[in-house]
Amino acid sequence: MLELNIKNETSRLRAVVLGSAFKNGPTPKVEEAYDPKSLEHILAGTYPLEHDMVNEMEAFNIVLKKYNVTVYRPEMIENYNQIFTRDIGFVIDDTFVKSNILPDRERELDAIQYIIDQINPKKVVRPPEEVHIEGGDVMLWNDYIFIGTYKGSDYKDYITARTNMLGVKYIKDLFPNKIVKEFDLVKSKIEARDNALHLDCCFQPVGNDKGIIYKNGFREEADYLFLVNLFGKENLFHITRDEMYNMNSNVFSIDTNVVVSERNFTRLNNWLRVNGFVVEEIPYSEIAKQEGLLRCSTLPLIRD
């Protein structure tokens, strides 16, 4: 049996599901794009190639193995994007929550069923159909659960809005002992530089008391100020619109002092090092073209 345990974003990682880029399929058609950044690259002819993405994910795998993390991979489905395991499920404490994802992506869950089968069935839950929630919007911070959402009345018009207020309520009801705080995120169907697809596209904690944040990813200044007050402004690294577009907040912590980051994130990586972090730099800029990065490619199962 897998004894799940996830209470925050940064404690020592022991087991994780890392996505896969094998047999990723051809470049999607314009109408198949799930987000504005993929669309941009489809139109420009710069959509990432399978072998480049496989190499990037292998670089990530090597770093995880270096720290003796148990790495699970999804079973391969031909011609199917299985990179972003974060979307399809997430662990809170010792409970695995299956996401209600976009219907086209349902088979991604089937590909990790062999892992879910190793979890106590009483600890696996699936929200009702009207409840939308994806792992990229769910962030644990000890007593807190941060959840990205979109409160606009036009929610249903946005394929980029992935977690609704019913999702927030579902988590509140499931974990009454936690402080659940939702954040209203900025969405765009057409401009990737103004689209916070998930909460981890505009915020992520690192270490014990620090974080990476993009102020304009939040529709309400009060939501941004909540995090400033909680973490302290001096502990937050503020990223620019272009850095948000390049997914600078979507790094991944293996431990409180070890962060896996993209090698081109010069400003961020310098800040991390100045603040005492070991930065494991890897190439991940091709995968970034699909509006997802390191955190998006992982589904942590066990942290100390």
Across 105-128, b (16+ Cβ under 10 Å) vs e yields: beebbebbeebbeebeeebeeebe
Q: For position 156, what pLDDT does the model report?
A: 67
Q: Where are the domains of the chain?
A: 13-303
Phi and psi torsions of 35, nearest 5°: -155, 160
Q: Alpha-carbon torsion 256, 262, 264, 268, what sign?
A: negative
Q: For position 282, what pLDDT does the model report?
A: 98
Considering the four listed CATH numbers 3.30.565.10, 3.40.50.261, 3.75.10.10, 3.40.50.2300, the one that applies to the domain covering 13-303 is 3.75.10.10
Q: For position 141, what pLDDT does the model report?
A: 98
d(C-alpha 224, C-alpha 154), whole Å: 22
Q: For position 202, what pLDDT does the model report?
A: 94
SS3 65: helix
Q: Alpha-carbon torsion 5, 10, 14, 20, what sign?
A: positive
Q: Alpha-carbon torsion 253, 296, 268, 58, what sign?
A: positive
101 DSSP assignment: -
Q: For position 240, what pLDDT does the model report?
A: 96
d(C-alpha 91, C-alpha 115), whole Å: 13
Number of other residues whose CB lies within 10 A of the CB of residue 178: 18
Q: For position 270, what pLDDT does the model report?
A: 98
Q: What is the signed CA dihedral for 181, 124, 156, 176, rounded to 10 degrees?
A: -30
Low-confidence residues in the chain, pLDDT < 50: none
Q: For position 121, what pLDDT does the model report?
A: 98
